[in-house]
Structure 1
């Protein structure tokens, strides 16, 4: 008897979290410079892109400066941002080539709604730096580990990520009763707190019935389309 795959391969899951994450801090390896706040996002290959401004440590720093960028992925539930994962990306800085600055700015604009992005594109004082990945340390609350650059960059986020995130927001905003009933069926216990849909991907769903408590529900087989994902989620919420 075949058992369903319960979760995405680790590199895919880490890339998925990175795609939803935003830089919070950056530190320069081997220097006495204090860790600084960071702003920016992650490009389509999973590489951090930092918006640096005049007067900041990395503005004008030499290329190939070794840094560690903290990326934080969170989930807003009940009006509160709750952390899902911390990723520490170590790598070497490179200026984003002029021909690629606009595309890089667009890639990070949602995570970094800063007017200085426009100045960086136009060649003003602010600049965009890309971090060429050496390795990624991941901590999700359930597991932790290290991915080398080859494993991280060769993978990709969950192919259903955009529609999955839309479904998560809709369910958490509009179907709290069904979520509670689903969690109670799965755990066999009354839910003591509000239940949230925490993760949703082609391999399954994760419910959060309370702090530090996650319940993973794998699909019978991985789904391949948004419609199939929506159907699997509906079966979880409304079993026949």
Structure 2
């Protein structure tokens, strides 16, 4: 059977990589959070003095839930793509991994206090990592739970970085072609269309503002390299655009 959408575990891992922590819950109380997600899928948190996690010492752990929010900016406005609730154990990042953790966080959440966190001063800002027990996901009309084995048992789409770059380029420069292609494909005009998702299995278009519709356009077969993804996207925009 031809696969037209990514496996949910792959999709969740991809959302996590492009998401930012918004809240962390500790002992039943939620607090604002800052940070990122490393390549393995573990949340990283930048914790300032006075915040609850900051008091953990040495190898101590705390049971936490980290809310990760993935968004897509369309015309300068962020629209939610998915919410992930990562439940697990927070622990201070080991000293030899502090610099790498800080670089990862800076990519999603630039903050001058990251410089101080790298110094490892226990009285200053600190970096924590979360070992994942399970992930609750809500994305579009899909919701469910992944245990750690399912979450870590797969990776994000291997073409994720290239796909995000291509998606941004289309939304910035080729929306007229996208509208024309959709009109040809669907047989009727489509209003306010944006490329919403792009992956090795196909593309998803978001149409409408108040009550948006998601339209899935699968490739004839999954693509395996960035150049093949670019070619599939160009075929979608150009061949249908000439119809």
TM above 0.5, yes or no, is yes
- Residue 225 of structure 1: how far off its partner (Å): 0.9
Structure having the larger proportion of residues in helix: 2
- Residue 107 of structure 1: how far off its partner (Å): 1.6
- Residue 61 of structure 1: how far off its partner (Å): 2.9
Structure 1 residues without counterparts, runs of 5 or longer: none
How far apart, in 2, do the equivalents of 1:36 and 1:183 lie? 43
* Correspondence 1:113-192 to 2 at 5 A: 113-124=110-121, 125-191=124-190
How far apart, in 1, do the equivalents of 2:35 and 2:187 lie? 43
* SS class of match (2:111): coil
How far apart, in 2, do the equivalents of 1:227 and 1:20 lie? 22
| Structure 1 match to 2:107 | 110
Q: Which moved more, 1:123-132 or 1:56-65?
A: 56-65
* Cα RMSD (Å): 1.3
- Superimposed CA distance per residue, residues 111-152 of structure 1 (whole angstroms, 9 cap, x where no aligned partner): 110011111111130111100001000101121110000110
- Residue 35 of structure 1: how far off its partner (Å): 1.0
Question: What's the TM-score once normalised by structure 2's chain length?
Answer: 0.93
Question: What's the TM-score once normalised by structure 1's chain length?
Answer: 0.94
* SS class of match (2:53): coil
2:95 maps to 1:98: yes
How far apart, in 2, do the equivalents of 1:142 and 1:188 lie? 25
Structure 2 residues without counterparts, runs of 5 or longer: none
How far apart, in 1, do the equivalents of 2:22 and 2:171 lie? 26
* Correspondence 1:1-240 to 2 at 5 A: 3-28=1-26, 31-32=27-28, 34-61=29-56, 63-124=60-121, 125-191=124-190, 193-210=191-208, 211-239=211-239
Aligned length: 234
- Superimposed CA distance per residue, residues 32-63 of structure 1 (whole angstroms, 9 cap, x where no aligned partner): 5x311100000111000000000111111362
